A and B are shown apart, each in its own frame.
Chain A
Amino acid sequence: MHSIYAFVSGPLAWLAFIIFIGGCLYRLISLMVLVHRKEKFIYSYMSLKYSLRSIFRWSMPFATENMRRHPALTIVAFAFHICLILTPLFLLAHVTLVEESWNISWWTLPEGWAEMMSLIVILACGFFLMRRLVNPEVKYVTSASDYILLAIVAAPFITGILVYYQWFGYEILLILHILSGEIMLVAIPFTRLSHMLFAPLTRAYMGSEFGGVRHAKDW
């Protein structure tokens, strides 16, 4: 068990981070190359002002018509994304690991908060799952891959919270937790989780088109 732990938390973790960062760079650069090769005109329409206008507007809860139409989803989606990104970055246990290895550390979340935020992510995943199962318009465009993605995102948080509670199987759960985190990292650049990379770009482009050419709001 210990050697498995050493493997997933050592070489495999390195590999996951390398694939994650390398993959993200690869996806972004190859998209830019594609723009450059075939749709150069896109550059001429990009406007910093209108890109930021659009990104900012869509980063504010309830600032758009569609967000106001779906208040529950808006609250859940914002809470989910905020917790999803902040919790792993500022978790005491994670920062401690980094500190042990490289002697650098940063501010950490109080443990109670981190617990709450992990639960929010898990509950939000449950909410998204219910949407996929119940809402006809979501169900219609849902395939197996959407459930798998949801599971990939939920797994590190479910295992993480179980590790934190230390109810049972601490060692195995810890290994699963690390493994599921690595799977998620690797999945980001190569699945639709890549909306983490691309959504700001599509948003910026549509914002530029609406602001600079169409002289209309895109919300």
Chain B
Amino acid sequence: MAEAARKEEKKIIDEGLDVGVQNLTEERIEKVITRVLKGESGARLKAYIETCVHCGLCSEACHYYLSHDKDPQYSPVGKVKQTLWKMLKAKGKVSAEFIKDASEIASTQCNVCKRCAMYCPFGIDIAYMMLTVRRICHLLGVTPLYIQDTAHSHAVTMNQMWVKDDEWIDTLQWQEEEAQAEIPTLRIPLEKEGADIMYSVIGPEPKFQAQLLYQAAVIMDVAGVDWTMPATPGWDNSDMAMYTGDNEIMGRVKRAHFETAARLRVNRIVMGECGHAFRSVYDMGNRWLGWRMPPIPIVHAIDFYYELIKNKKITITEKFKEPVTLHDPCNVIRGGGLAEKARFVINAICEQLIEMHPNREHNYCCCAGGGVINCGPPYKMTRMDGNRIKAEQLFAAKSRGAKILIAPCHNCHSGLEDINHHYGLGYEVKFISDILYDVIEKPS
């Protein structure tokens, strides 16, 4: 009965999937599934599949499951059942329609946040299995249209948002000029070889959040950091190819990024408040290129702010007054261990931090990450219905006085804006840098 009900609510039109499946033949499906499951995958997948005792204990880790009144089809293992188990059982002999459903499940009903890995008694990595399904769907050309377009952008421009080479430089110079109205000596140093730090951002910052570049430039300037930004492709640290299963493009994009930093001979790469980009440079992209850890040290914005405040490079004039709550993004907290540093920073710049519960590693996902928000408007309601639990969690923090929601990750930020609107929570969603920029001492 539950299955029928779910079919009813599925009326999503996505050309990436609808047109993609028309090009499939049963032979091609079987060939690709065999290539990925037998060829590309190895011991991990085998051990995960054969160790899982179907106990269902991962269920309560998943925000989709909790938000859908504990519908087992949304449990992590439930999603593996609907995708990988069937592919394995049928030895790749599955229908085109099955691939379409599998793509939708893996790409839009899982944020690969790995919360379930903390709930499985065996530590089975279900996110990895969902990414394996996405890989299969990618090789079959059945990926949601919007995120596929983003992956194309990466392939063509080495950035996520089709930002042209001159537009990038132009945007930086525009923000430099803007900031010079506030601090006349401020520069956004381009192509400064031998600088200590290369600052990298994601494509959406120059595209439509240029004020974040401004804020970063002011923070860097005030702190007296020896920094630079590249004037060539390779400036973008984001990576949607990682989430479509297009590992080859992921590798190209990451190589461009690391090589740009190497060309500029910087000691470290500092990145803006983005989670998936951190995963890409610190966890997945570097590994694809054969680097155990990033070839050039990567410092996430949270870590960088922590360092600036701890070393007294910046002075806080007056703490931010309104009570804030903090959303712990999966990729930098569960994926990077920055939970306590984030709290150090927030407590240094805000008067009152009201914790949401659960928090830190156990925080509920934003439901936007893992490429899900990048699958575009067709799946907005998938994200809203799929994360009622987040709204409840945020509402509870609000009822204890929180007014501002800090989300130090782009995907989380955008996803939580949507949750905030859809459920009428009345938060103002901010990055850490929005507040940091406001409260630091600047030359007058």
Interface residues of A (CB under 8 A from B): 31-32, 34-35, 37-39, 41-42, 44-45, 54, 58, 64-66, 69-70, 73, 131, 135-143, 146, 192, 194-195, 198-199, 201-203, 205-207, 210, 213-219
Contact = CB atoms under 8 A, between A and B. Distances in A.
B361 interface: yes
Contact of A140 (B51, B81, B118, B334): B81
Contacts of A205: 44, 123
B78 A140 contact: yes
Given A54-B123, A216-B337, A37 B42 contact: yes
Interface string B42-60: 1110111011111111011
21 contacts: A31-B47, A42-B43, A42-B44, A64-B118, A66-B57, A66-B60, A69-B60, A135-B56, A140-B75, A141-B75, A198-B50, A202-B47, A202-B48, A202-B124, A203-B122, A206-B117, A214-B334, A216-B335, A216-B336, A217-B118, A218-B118
Contact of B119 (A41, A66, A194): A66
Interface in B52-73: 52-57, 59-61, 65, 70, 72-73
Contacts of A219: 118
B125 interface: yes
A65 B61 CA distance: 10
Contacts of A136: 70, 72
Interface of B: 41-44, 46-48, 50-57, 59-61, 65, 70, 72-73, 75, 77-78, 81, 117-119, 121-125, 283, 287, 292-293, 333-337, 339, 361-362
Contact of B283 (A66, A140, A194, A213): A213
Interface centre among A64, A195, A201, A202, by most B CB within 10 Å?
A202
Contacts of B60: 66, 69
Given A137-B75, A141-B56, A66 B121 contact: yes
Contacts of A202: 47-48, 51, 122-124
Given A198-B122, A202-B48, 11 more contacts: A34-B43, A35-B42, A42-B43, A58-B123, A65-B119, A65-B362, A137-B72, A137-B77, A192-B50, A206-B124, A218-B123
B333 A216 contact: yes
B175 to A, nearest CB: 33
Contacts of A73: 57
A35 B70 contact: no
A216 B334 contact: yes
A198 B47 contact: yes
A140 B123 contact: no
A70 B56 CA distance: 12
Contacts of A218: 117-118, 123
Given A206-B123, A214-B336, A142 B54 contact: yes
Contact of A214 (B61, B335, B362): B335
Contact of A38 (B43, B334, B362): B43
Given A140-B81, A141-B77, A194 B335 contact: no
Contacts of B56: 131, 135, 137-138, 140-141
Nearest to A141: B54
> Lowest 8 CB-CB distances: which A-B pairs, in order?
A215-B337, A206-B123, A38-B42, A140-B72, A138-B56, A137-B56, A34-B43, A137-B59
A142 B51 CA distance: 14
A213 B333 CA distance: 12
B122 A31 contact: no
Contacts of B125: 206
B328 to A, nearest CB: 10
A70 B55 CA distance: 12
Contact of B123 (A34, A38, A135, A203): A203
A69 B78 CA distance: 20
Contacts of B46: 31, 34
Of A66, A141, A203, most B-chain CB atoms within 10 Å: A141
Nearest to B61: A66
A35 B43 CA distance: 5
* Consensus secondary structure, chain A interface: helix
Contact of B336 (A41, A69, A131, A215): A215
A195 B42 contact: no
Given A35-B43, A216-B339, A41 B287 contact: yes
Contacts of B337: 214-216
Nearest to A54: B123
A141 B336 contact: no
Contacts of B335: 214, 216
B120 to A, nearest CB: 8
A31 B75 contact: no
Contacts of A192: 50-54
B234 to A, nearest CB: 24
Nearest to A136: B72
A199 B42 contact: no
Nearest to A31: B43
A40 to B, nearest CB: 9
B173 to A, nearest CB: 37
A126 B60 CA distance: 23
A137 B51 CA distance: 18
A70 to B, nearest CB: 7
A131 B54 CA distance: 11
Contact of A201 (B41, B47, B75, B81): B47
A145 to B, nearest CB: 9
Contacts of B123: 54, 58, 202-203, 205-207, 218
A195 B337 CA distance: 29
Contact of A199 (B54, B65, B122): B122
A123 B123 CA distance: 27
A215 B361 CA distance: 10
Nearest to B77: A141
A39 B40 CA distance: 10
